[in-house]
Amino acid sequence: MGCSVSTSSRSTCSSGSHGEAVSPLCFEIGFCGTKRTKRTFSDHVITLQNLPSVPNRIFTNGKSRTSCIFTQQGRKGINQDAMIVWEDFMSEDVTFCGVFDGHGPQGHLVARKVRDALPLKLLSSMHSYQSRQNGSGGACLKGNLKKSDGSPEDRLNCLWKETFMKSYKAMDKELRSHPNLDCFCSGSTAVTIVKQGPNLFMGYIGDSRAIMGSKDSNGSMVAIQLTVDLKPDLPREAERIKKCKGRVFALQDEPEVPRVWLPFDDAPGLAMARAFGDFCLKEYGVISIPEFSHRLITERDQFIVLASDGVWDVLSNEEVVEIVSLAPTRSSAARILVDSAAREWKLKYPTSKMDDCAVVCLFLDGKMDTESDYEEQGLSSATVQSNHSGNAIETDDGQKTELYLPRNFTVRSSEESDSYGRVAAEFEGNVDAVLTEDQNWSGLEGVTRVNSLVQLPRFSEERPNP
């Protein structure tokens, strides 16, 4: 399993190597305006085996100090969605959030593997950076940023971009060589956010999405899309796939769902341009390189919602922001959002099988509910926590202890034309994340997600003539 990183509660900052504590990464970067935190890297090893004992890390239905998370199985089979919130990630003012949507025969295992291993790879990458700085005599990140070219904000942004790129690459490499996990025709999306003080650093692949609820100048709640749904028909995505001999087209009975196909066979029909795994398509344009962006949080920004496309297929960005902002308690927001998505599936697509849904709601002011909030609803905090913890038990193979429903591999012929207005995505910070107008696409509103993967590839001997 091999992924480990050192962390500790010690906070010394030494450049020597004569038995002193290893110099930690100093996350109190000058422009952040935060004080040095106590939780830093040093000598406690975190591995996949002892992850369940790590404090302030939640990955099943429930809530933390600043967030709530909830997932519900759809009607296509085992729940292939996974999610995580890890507070005090690296340091006390750093939080990691992620949602992962698996697809294919072993998609549920891929999603949970990425959920567990990817954060550790981010930690490991940062720890490697720390070690390099120690070796070169750097006291800490804060000092090195000030001495190097560019502003501290630019340096921190570049560091996180490099960390995300390396970690995603290492994650996909591990999946390719995993002895017990067949990722040839299985894979997962990923939308991941690191909140460090007032900074948001985002890395993502696939079509899971992150949005922000913020107040405009009039005090009204508005939706700001933070990520782009990386569909195969995005111009730059389609161009890359076609250059690699892959094909992009939609089936006649689902013209609204573009898919990626092998050059010599009408398979597998992957409904996204980037993903972990899916190695049958990696030579034909599907990649695991994440899009990266940075955003500064303002006092108007209220919360962030990360969700799999089971939510976005039936709810618009504006509707999601409204549902979360009007939730009776913050700790119930994720569950209420999933319940709303389930109702919309039944109303809009009564003949279709509801997709899995996973939601993370992160509240940016760092506050959750008070006991009075529960009392107003006639609930106790224990009752809310119990409600959130339902159907969350995982077995040794990562499966939920829920009734298994055979996954449907047929496609739906849709006559519905319901659609909602779109919210223009906003991107700040990294210039690579600022897309041109024709690239700034959000998910297909009102479209039933049929299957991310239509069928397994059939490598026929006869290939079309060039």
What gap in Å lies between CA 13 and CA 280, rounded to an integer? 47
Cβ neighbour number for residue 159 with a 10 Å cutoff: 19
Q: Where are the beta strands (DSSP E) in 47-189?
A: 57-58, 62-63, 67-72, 81-86, 94-103, 187-188
Measured distance between the N- and C-terminal CA atoms of the chain, rounded to whole angstroms: 43
Cα of 189 vs its chain's centroid, Å: 7
Over residues 100-125, the pLDDT tens digits come to: 999 999 999 999 999 999 999 999 99
Q: Which amino acid is at 398?
A: G
The reported pTM is 0.77
What gap in Å lies between CA 199 and CA 295, rounded to an integer? 6
Give the residue from 174, 402, 202, 213 showing the smallest Cα distance to 304: 213
What gap in Å lies between CA 394 and CA 397, rounded to an integer? 8
What gap in Å lies between CA 156 and CA 148, rounded to an integer? 11
Q: What is the pLDDT along the chain (466 residues), one digit of tens a residue?
A: 445 444 443 333 333 333 333 333 444 333 343 444 444 443 346 777 788 888 999 999 999 999 999 999 998 899 999 999 999 998 888 999 999 999 999 999 999 999 999 999 999 998 888 777 666 544 344 434 444 457 888 888 999 999 999 999 999 999 999 999 999 999 999 999 999 999 999 999 999 999 999 999 999 999 999 999 999 999 999 999 999 999 999 999 889 999 999 999 999 999 999 999 999 999 999 999 999 999 999 999 999 999 999 999 999 999 999 999 999 999 999 999 999 999 999 999 898 889 999 999 999 998 887 654 555 555 444 444 434 333 344 543 444 433 333 333 223 333 333 333 332 333 333 333 333 333 333 443 333 445 788 877 766 555 555 4
Contact in structure between 199 and 31 (CB atoms under 8 Å): no
List of domains in the chain: 53-131+151-229+290-363 (3.60.40.10)
